[in-house]
Structure 1
């Protein structure tokens, strides 16, 4: 079974309370730690990778992002999905080619640009192009930014999810959806649902998100930021 097939299988038949938990490595060293801890797959966070490379979130050049993903994928034996933001303006065929060259088996693609939601139908066409180019070689996770860059209307999130799923997205990701809206989203969205878990204790645990309907749980740049905070504390203790 290929890594892409392994990754796809991990999303199937998840029981309530048992979502696929995908921590986000920002470099090869972090990826090895997480793989050695026993996680069956990993999902890079674009913001965490950006921080590791010295860029603000959303400012990483495409070449550097793909190179970082390649280093991470090369460092571990488990499947790696890559957050490639909005696709860097690449045509679907080139985007897919670069993801596969980097060793990724999946990708996150955002439906906003510069803090503004994209036209949902145009984005669905883009996702359809990615699906055609990738066939079954990539697991496409379509991020829905209604709760971060839109008005927070759950019905709009559900409508976008339906368009993206019809276009061939394997999973949808209404990032920052409030926990109290998750049951409504789950009831209106067909197929795998990705939800964000926070590491500061302010929000449901991964298991609780699974009970609410999450198929998989990711953490965005949470692990990288928590690690940076720990390093700051250690560094402060080293000063005379």
Structure 2
């Protein structure tokens, strides 16, 4: 049911907007705000734990967060970096564990340091995971643009097609930020295409280009850090406390989300 609900959100009249959380409070607040689904940000999870991103350092924190937010009443997609393991079987075990918690989807990336995993090896990994856990929406990410690799448009187009053929339910191409590149990806992918929120192209135009899902990535975590430091500096400079900040009681009540009580605090 959760998988079907999440999958359907990728085929609506408008793109799925997926804000990404890094802890229970941020996820609960986003669910309370009315978003149809919630993602997680690996950067936010790693930075909040004092660890580096994308080096398989946060498997424990990622699973703990998934367990905490799986019951929010909306589908949740978890960023699992490259799967946190070398073995496809171990990656599939992780995804099965997440599915058992009630997670609807995952992001699985092909970035490996400054380069990419072999396309055939990544396609095999996707196939192993989907055969083991068919009821999780596998969003296959390619980092061809993200890493600034030569020939990124053609490289990304070939990879998203290969990943779709291997069984991916959707493809994610962070760094694709021109209309021409996005049109090419949408035309050739064969499955829903996901891009990041971006300055270059407004949401309405991304919808016109056929984008199915627009992720916030680490933006909200970075914005929260900016707001925290800015607020601290402004108050130190004699400025008043800003309007709109949630009260202590509102934030404290967020712990009820995902624990059997979905009422608004």
Cα pair 1:41 1:80 within 8 Å, conserved? yes
Task: Please list the CA deviations of residues 57-110 of structure 1 after superposition, one character each: whole Å capped at 9, or x if unmatched.
Answer: 224331122112222224x11110000000011524312222224431100000
Matches within 5 A, 1:1-240: 2-12=1-11, 14-15=12-13, 18-59=14-55, 60-74=57-71, 76-89=72-85, 90=87, 91-135=90-134, 137-149=135-147, 150-180=149-179, 181-198=181-198, 202-239=199-236
Give 1:23 deviation, angstroms.
0.5
Task: Please list the CA deviations of residues 107-144 of structure 1 after superposition, one character each: whole Å capped at 9, or x if unmatched.
Answer: 00001211211100110000000000002x20000001
Distance (Å, rounded) in 2 between the aligned partners of 1:58 and 1:128: 22
Cα pair 1:85 1:109 within 8 Å, conserved? yes
Distance (Å, rounded) in 2 between the aligned partners of 1:78 and 1:238: 36
Task: Please list the CA deviations of residues 141-200 of structure 1 after superposition, one character each: whole Å capped at 9, or x if unmatched.
Answer: 0001110222243122111111111110000111111223111222222120001113xx
Give 1:25 deviation, angstroms.
1.0
Give 1:20 deviation, angstroms.
0.6
Cα pair 1:48 1:220 within 8 Å, conserved? no
Question: Helix, strand or coil: the match of 2:222?
Answer: helix
Cα pair 1:107 1:139 within 8 Å, conserved? yes
Give 1:55 deviation, angstroms.
1.9
Distance (Å, rounded) in 1 between the aligned partners of 2:69 and 2:114: 28
Which structure has the larger Rg over C-alpha atoms? 2
Q: Give the TM-score of the pair, scaled to structure 1.
A: 0.90
Partner residue, 2:246: none
Give 1:32 deviation, angstroms.
1.2
Query: Post-superposition, which runs of at least 4 consecutive aligned residues in structure 1 deviate over 4 A?
Result: none
Number of aligned pairs? 231
Cα pair 1:194 1:216 within 8 Å, conserved? yes
Structure 1 gap ranges (5+): none
Backbone CA RMSD of aligned residues: 1.6
Distance (Å, rounded) in 2 between the aligned partners of 1:206 and 1:26: 23
Cα pair 1:92 1:133 within 8 Å, conserved? no
